[in-house]
Chains A and B, each alone.
Chain A
């Protein structure tokens, strides 16, 4: 059973389009994340939700909008795609704890904007 799953795995689209990436976790975790990994493998957090509430919102263009319909799902919608949005996007989840707990990552969605 896949713990953190993302769809689609690959996404190729043209500049100006709007696209969504979906994420689901079956671990019973309270917290979910979106990360962006650029071509140099640098991994940066974008957003985090805890029980459907936004708790981390980094400096990300407002073309990016996360949505959490329930605590097992966190989707990422991107409007007006630009060439610089090309990257691998990772979803992750973790359980709520007093200290930092392990984040479980999905397999990633490779987005290519042409």
Chain B
């Protein structure tokens, strides 16, 4: 089965600094990948998704992610962190045989310092 690994359960950056959240996947073929954000006491919201088109995917709120097959990675970045970016971020991969089935990573909590 597919899986994703998120390195770093907690990431702390200063406001205005680069945000880099790591996600590596395991799959025998290029999968469909997603990044979701969860604000406190809320459900998950899609940031962006990779579906085998462009390898650099732009999402909402200034986030983007690059699919790198050679590194089996799909890291999430944002050039300049804002206080409102503080949240939990989840990387997910869909099952190759059942697109409806998503496997989520363990999440990375982003803290933004003033």
Contact = CB atoms under 8 A, between A and B. Distances in A.
Interface of A: 4, 31, 33, 40-45, 48, 50, 55-56, 90, 92, 94, 97, 99-108
A42 B107 contact: yes
A31 B106 contact: no
Interface of B: 32, 34, 36, 38, 41-46, 49, 51, 88, 90, 94, 98-102, 104, 106-107, 109
Main secondary structure of the interface of B (DSSP, over half): strand
A43 B90 contact: yes
B100 A41 contact: no
Contact of A4 (B34, B41, B43, B51): B43
A100 B107 contact: no
A103 B43 CA distance: 11
A103 B49 CA distance: 11
27 contacts: A4-B43, A33-B100, A41-B38, A41-B109, A43-B90, A43-B104, A43-B107, A44-B104, A48-B100, A48-B101, A50-B100, A56-B98, A56-B100, A99-B99, A100-B32, A100-B34, A100-B49, A102-B34, A102-B46, A103-B44, A103-B46, A105-B36, A105-B45, A107-B41, A107-B43, A108-B41, A108-B42
B52 to A, nearest CB: 9
A41 B88 contact: yes
Most chain-B CB neighbours within 10 Å: which of A40, A48, A101, A106? A101
B44 A102 contact: no
A84 to B, nearest CB: 19
A55 B107 contact: no
Contacts of A94: 100
A23 to B, nearest CB: 11
Overall SS of chain A's interface: strand
A105 B45 CA distance: 7
Nearest to B43: A105
Contacts of B43: 4, 90, 92, 105-108
